[in-house]
Amino acid sequence: MLVGTENQSLYREYYDIIEDIETKEAFSYLVGWASSLKNYSCLPSSHGVIKDFRFMRDTDWDFAFIPNQKWLLFYFRKPSLRFEKYSRARILEKFPEAKETKPREFTLRISNFEMAAKIATLIES
């Protein structure tokens, strides 16, 4: 579900950062899909100067994405990686283009609806 409605102007601000129309569609899909999730509280936020959209499961920050001009940088964060379905092998099997970061998390560039839907399908499975 979406939380943090006191920051609702951030949704538009994040949308306006994106210049690519297909990435805007991916953003709109992910935010709409996030609003339907029962086990996550989802909200726009920031980490210093970095603007992000967070998926929180209780106090665990499992996923996030950062809007950019041409893509959304999606993060599989450490709390989620404890689950088998988000193991290193499974992430790289489903998303060969995913990159492992130094903190041993995974990032993935989402630039269209198909990639956004693929992430949603994995998270809902």
3 state SS of 20: coil
Long-range contact pairs involving 10-16 (C-beta distance under 8 Å, separation at least 24) = 10/44, 10/45, 10/51, 11/44, 13/44, 13/51, 14/44, 14/51, 14/53, 14/67, 15/67
Tokens standing for residue 64: 């996030």
Q: What is the pLDDT of residues 19-66, one digit of tens each?
A: 999 999 999 999 999 999 999 999 999 878 899 999 999 999 999 999
Q: Is the pTM of this model over 0.85?
A: yes
Given this model, what pLDDT does residue 5 score? Answer: 64
Given this model, what pLDDT does residue 29 score? Answer: 98
CATH top-level class of 5-124 = alpha beta
